[in-house]
Amino acid sequence: MAKYIAKRSALAVATLIAIILLLFLLLELMPGSPFNIDKVPFDTRAMIMEHYGLDRPVMERFAKYLANMLKGDFGISYSLSKKTPITALLAIRLPVSIRLGVQAVLLGTIFGLALGMAAAIWHGKAMDTIATVVSVLGVSLPSYVFALTLSYFAGFRFQLAPMLYQASSPIYSSVLPTISLSMFTIATVARFTRTELLEILGSDYMLFAESKGISGAALFFRHALRNALIPIITVLAPLIVALMTGSLVVERIFSIPGIGSLLVSAIQANDYNVIIALSFIYSAMYIFIMLVLDILYGIIDPRIRITKEGE
């Protein structure tokens, strides 16, 4: 098992390094620089590029960046927040995105499970139709549609919740973005829960369990739901990463100081270090979750481990 974990971890680290290198090379191809003001004289621009070492060859910068990164130094922002260490920006913005993501995942999972269970229990009835409609809408409509709709009706027309994020009341002012972001999760979880439960509820072992006298909540939760949860967790993992690393559009609409909106701004401003640091964090979180899943699968189902080790 230890060998399996070590192998997967080494692969994860190599993937991350490859991603950073790729980013360096891609940024090198991007036109312009972080110092793009056309009014600034060429001489001054060259001096500034030299000052920050941006005139050095790309591989030299890559090696230096990696060395600094191991010390926890992601460099500074060149244009978005001039001269601010990226770690300071992350300290401000990452917790906001993570909190919002956690809220959205919790809400989405709770409602998704509830909806999926209801649809399975009342299969073929009105509840099932409602769950199907919600699932289709949640999966097919992008989150910004929900964001704009909620903002207009719940925020503006009926004043049920704030339209903009306020650092002074982070939970209350994030009600609308949380709901907007959770819609996809609700839909996905509901769909999977319904499908899995329907399959399990109609299976022979459920009939067997019922015939043994197990009934009510014990039958449903212990025998049906528990078995249905395994594939749902697989679906949830990438959703958790996507939600915790910030939403590009929802953050923009509700003025949330998260890392999703920061990445968009960084790309527009050619702010190299911010782009690399945020892409790294996104990749690292994704790879980490996938690594944990891989290991968990290996523990739950040894066949997976054996198959992969045999490859």
Partner 1 sequence: MAQTKRALSAALAVLLIFSLAACGGGNTQTSGGGSTSDAPKILNIHIDVEAASLRPQIATDGTSFEVIASFLEGLYSIDGAGTPYPCIAESYEMADDGLEYIFKLRDAQWSNGDPVTAHDFVFAWRLAVDPETASEYAYIIDTAGVKNAAEIANGDMAVDSLGISAVDDKTLKIELAFPVPYFLPLMSFPTFYPVNQKFYEECGENFATAPEYLLANGPFKVTSFQQMATSIDLVKNETYYNADQVLIDGLHYQVIKDSQQAMLSYQNGDLHIATLSGEQSENFASDPEYTPIMAGYLWFISPNTEVEGLGNVNLRRAMALSFDKSAIVNNILKDGSIVADFAVPSQFATGPDGKDYRATSATYLSTNKDLAKEYFETAKEELGMDTFSYAMLVEDTESALNVAQFLKAQIEENLPGLTIAIESMPKATRLNRMEGKDYELGLTRWGPDYADPMTYLDLWITGAQNNFGNWTNARYDEIIASAKSGDLAVDPEARWEALKEAEAIIMDEAGIFPIYQKGNAELVKSTVKGIEWHSVGLNRVFKNVTIAD
- When the beta carbons of 80 and 235 are compared against partner 1, the nearer one is 80
Q: Are 192 and 232 in contact (CB under 8 A)?
A: yes
Structure tokens, 151: 């903002």
Site for partner 1 in 184-213 (CB under 8 A): 210
Which of 2, 3, 29, 42 contacts partner 1 by CB under 8 A? 42
Is 216 a binding residue for partner 1 by CB under 8 A? The answer is: yes
Q: Is 232 in the site for partner 1 (CB under 8 A)?
A: no
The encoded tokens of residue 23 equal 């980013």
Gap between the Cα atoms of 201 and 199, Å rounded: 6
DSSP 151: I
Q: Pick from 27, 175, 275, 277: which binds partner 1 (CB under 8 A)? A: 175
Cα–Cα separations (whole angstroms), residue 75 to 70, 161, 248? 12, 38, 23
Closest approach, Cβ 102 to partner 1, in A, equals 11
* CB contact set of 200 (below 8 Å; sequence gap of 6+): 206, 223, 224, 227, 228
Interface positions, 82-141, toward partner 1 (CB under 8 A)? 82-84, 88-89, 92-93, 103, 106-107, 110-111, 113-114, 117-118, 121-122
Sign of CA dihedral 190, 192, 193, 198: positive
Does position 43 bind partner 1 by CB under 8 A?
yes
> Interaction with partner 1 in 45-74: which residues (CB under 8 A)?
45, 47-48, 51-52
User: Does 29 contact partner 1 by CB under 8 A?
Assistant: no
Provide the token pair at 152: 């207009």
Judged by CB under 8 A, the chain residues 271 through 310 that form the site for partner 1 are none
- Taking the complex as a whole, how short is the minimal distance between the CB of residue 26 and partner 1, in angstroms? 14
Instruction: Please identify, using beta-carbon distances, which residue of 5 and 130 lies nearer to partner 1.
Output: 130
Going by C-alpha positions, the residue among 92, 59, 65 that lies closest to residue 258 is 92
How far is CA 249 from each of CA 14, 181, 183, 253, 257, rounded to the nearest angstrom? 31, 10, 14, 6, 12
Smaller CB separation from partner 1, 201 or 304: 201
255 binds partner 1 (CB under 8 A): yes
Q: CA 239 to CA 69: how far, in whole Å?
A: 27
Min dist. Cβ of residue 140 to partner 1 (A): 22
Question: Among 69, 148, 237, 296, which residue interacts with partner 1 (rule: CB under 8 A)?
Answer: 148
Those residues with Cβ within 8 angstroms of residue 222's Cβ, 6 or more apart along the chain or in another chain? 214
Q: Find the part of the chain contacting partner 1 (CB under 8 A) among 2-10, 57-65, 159-167, 233-241.
A: 159-167
Closer to partner 1 by CB, 91 or 299: give it. 91
Shortest spacing between CB 35 and partner 1, in angstroms: 6
